[in-house]
A and B are shown apart, each in its own frame.
Chain A
Amino acid sequence: MLKGSRSWVFPAQPAILSTGVVGGPFEKKGKLAAEFDRFYDDLWMGQDTYEKANRVLIEDAVQIALEKQSLQKDDVQFFLTGDLINQITPSSFAARSNAIPYFGLFGACSTSIEGLALAGFLVNYQGADKVITGASSHNSATEKQFRYPTEYGGQKPPTAQWTVTGAGYAVVGNGAGLTTPGPRVTSATIGKVIDLGLTDPFNMGGAMAPAAVDTIAGHFQDLGRDPSYYDLIVTGDLAAIGRQTAMEMLKEKGYTLSDRQYQDCGLLIYGEDQPVQSGASGPGCSATVLYGHLLNEMKKGTYKRILVVATGALLSPLTFQQGETIPCIAHAVSIEFL
C-alpha cells in the first residue's frame, strides 16, 4: 500500500524465512566471521575466473538459504538479484543454473535492499508465495571492473573503501501462517537519484551520504515516524566519512541520532586491523551484514525494529573518466521482529 509519496507499507508483513550468507578469505578474518554460513579460503573459489567465482558465491548463498527451510527450487517463484559486474552477468548466470524465474536488478550497492523491497511487495500482494532475493560482490572482479588490475601497485587514498567478497540471500515468504516470531518486512521507501556533484570514485561514502539522508528523511515523513521508532538505523556502505556526513546532514534536518542508534554495515564487517581504509563497500556488504549479523541480533533480541538503508553509487568506469559526477541512490526497508 502506497503511503506518502514513495513508501510502501506491507500489511501482510512478509517474513524473512531463512538466509544464506557466504564470504571470502578476507571476510573470514573480519569482525563478523561468526555470522557467515560458509567461507571460501581462496578468492578463486575453485573457478578459473573471478567472475565465475562471483557466480559461485551467489549459487552457494541461494542454496544455503533454500536448504535451511528444506525448500526446493520449484517452491520459490522469483529470484531478484544483482551485482556489480558487466551487465550483472554473475547474477544472470546463477539464475541460469538455478532456473528460478528471474528479475535482474541493478542498484549498485543498494541492490540488496532494492531486491528486498520488491520481494516484500510481491509477497504482500500475492504476486508470489516465496521469493529469494539478495546481492553479491567479489572484491577482485569489482576492482577489475571499476578500478585497476588487482595486482597493480597504485596507492589508494584513505577515503577509499574495500569491496566485500560475499553474497547474502534471503527467502522472503508469506508470513500469515507462521506461529513463531521472526523478522518481517513491514515497510519500504524507494529512493530518488541524488547527485551533489562529487566526482572522486575513491570517495563513494561521501558521494552517497546525501542519497541516504534523502531516503531516511523521506521514510520518516511518509510514514509519520521519527528516529525513536527504530532501535537501529543502519546504512549500507557509507563507511567512516559517509556516515559522519550523513549524521551531520540528518541533524540539520532535525533527526538527531546517537552513535549507537545509527551504524553502518561498511564499518561493522571488518576489524580495525584490516587495511580497508575508510571501510567496506559493495552490494555484498549490506547483504551479508543484514542477512547475517543484523538478523541474528534481532533473533537474540538486541533489536526489535531496524531500518536498513542501502546506498548505491550509480557510476561506471566510463562516466567518471568522462568527468561526470557520481549519481547515487538509497533504498530503505524496515524490518521488525514480530
Chain B
Amino acid sequence: MKKYLCAGVITSLLIAGCSNKEDGKDSKVALIKTTDPPPIELVDNPETESFGHAIKKELAKKKELYDVAVIQSKEETLVVYKVKHLQRFKMKKIEKDMEKYLEGKYPDEDFVLSSDYKIFLETVRLKEKIQHKSISKKKAKKEFKDIIELQKEKT
C-alpha cells in the first residue's frame, strides 16, 4: 500500500516536472556540454553598438573557462560563463578578474556576471527562441529581464 503511494507520488512528480518545456538541441545539453552560443544583441542597431562578439571572443581565450554566453541589451550586458571543474576553487578570483577587465575596456557599460549553470541554460534557451523567431523582440527583452532577476535571487 505504502509502496504504491510512494511510487505514485514520484511518478507524478516526474511527469509534472518533465512535461513543461520543449527544448532545442543545444539547451538540452547546456548543463553538461560546451554549447558555445553566439551572443544575443537586444540593442537597436546591432551593427554599430554591438560589442557582444568582441567580449565573447576575448573571454573565450581565458583558459579557466570553457563556455561563454553574452546577452547585450541597452541597459546592461549579461555575461555568463562556465568554469572548468578544477578551476572552480578559484571562482571568486576569476569573477573579479573578469569584472576588472570588462570595466576597464567598456567603462560606460553595466555588466552582470554569472557563472551559474541555470543562467547559462536560460541564455541558451532564449537564444534558441530568437533564432527560431518564435518570440518578438519585446518579449525577448522581457525574458532577459527575468533572467537578470533570477540571477539576483539568493535563496
Judged by CB atoms under 8 Å, the answer to whether A and B touch is no
Name B's A-contacting residues (CB within 8 A).
none
* A residues apposed to B, CB below 8 Å: none
